[in-house]
Amino acid sequence: MAGELSPIDKAKFVAAKRAAEFVEDGMRVGLGTGSTAAWLVRCLGEMVREEGLKFRGVPTSTRTAELAREVGIEVVSLDEARWLDLTIDGADEFDAELNLIKGGGGALLQEKIVATASDQLLVIADAAKEVEHLGAFPLPVEVIPFGWPTTQALIEETLVAMDVMGRGATLRMTGDRPFITDEGNHILDLHLGRIGNARQLAMVLNQIPGVVENGLFIDICDIVVIGYGDGRIEMRDINSGTVENDRLDFVETDNLFSDLGD
């Protein structure tokens, strides 16, 4: 129930609820991965059931696809959709220019492909995700399994010349085994502390053999919807330079809040 949610979950919920209003009948919509994106999928599922909203969703991970089908959203692949009207996703960090770090959930490759195949990327986040400089959150880098220790060494060597505070990299694990992405790859988490030039770092990392993609989303996000635990919502549009403020009153509904597993 809404009244039993923590302040952080309330913030995620109100951001997701506001972002869901951008989805219109007939749209092709990218659906992000992670805890905040899961709130969005639940909200959209409720709109499908209660309001008859009809759209096609392109999930960015297998778990998002499973949740979308569970709540009644029509799921199609990016190959079928070809191009999207809108993608809505969460972020691990965002700065004043709406540059992002993403990939905490391990789906950064599909998330970046889907986001760049969209007319707009709308990011939903709680206020704690806003930072002055990216980098406090570990930067995920997806690498192929073959020779990953060599790739890690090359990354750490490259970081010496980059404008970052830290240079450590660790292999993401699930229990005692390496985390495996939907594409069968590994993820190295870079513990940088602070990234001085995110655009440069993103370009350099992708030149390293073995690197598939990195979690820096530069000049991709158009709008961020920020939720607060008291129901306030702030919406920033980087293209128009506008900032809008709103508030969402909580309505307790078993339909939406029951068995939310993410």
Q: What is the pLDDT of residues 134-144, one digit of tens each?
A: 999 999 999 99
CATH class as words, domain 2-130+219-257: alpha beta
Beta-sheet pairing, 216-217 with 177-178? unpaired
User: Above 80 in pLDDT, residue 192?
Assistant: yes
Strand-pair partners of 177: 174
Residue 70 annotated to the active site: no
Q: Where are the chain's structural domains?
A: 2-130+219-257, 139-214
- 107 — pLDDT class (breaks 50, 70, 90): very high
In whole angstroms, give the CA distance from residue 209 to residue 189. 17
Q: 46, 70, 74, 111: which one is catalytic?
A: 111
How many CB atoms lie under 10 A from the CB of residue 206?
Answer: 13
Query: Which candidate, 122, 44, 42, 35, places its Cα nearest to that of 84?
Result: 122
32 a known binding residue? Answer: no
pLDDT at site 124: 98
* Whether the Cβ atoms of residue 34 and residue 240 lie closer than 8 Å to each other: no
Query: Could you say which of 3.40.640.10, 3.90.50.10, 3.30.70.260, 3.30.300.20 is the CATH number of the domain covering 139-214?
Result: 3.30.70.260
Amino acid at 65: A
91 a known binding residue? Answer: yes
103 a known binding residue? Answer: yes
Q: Which residue has the higher pLDDT, 189 or 251?
A: 189
89 a known binding residue? Answer: yes
User: Above 90 in pLDDT, residue 259?
Assistant: no
pTM of the model: 0.93
In whole angstroms, give the CA distance from residue 140 to residue 142. 7
pLDDT digits (tens, 9 = 90+) for 145-165: 999 999 999 999 999 999 999
pLDDT at site 5: 86
For 126-194, the three-class secondary structure string (H helix, E strand, C coil) is EHHHECCCCCCCCEEEEECCCCHHHHHHHHHHHHCCCCECCCEEEECEECCEECCCCCCCEEEEEECCC
Averaged pLDDT for residues 225-241: 97
10 a known binding residue? Answer: no
Tokens of 174: 């699930």
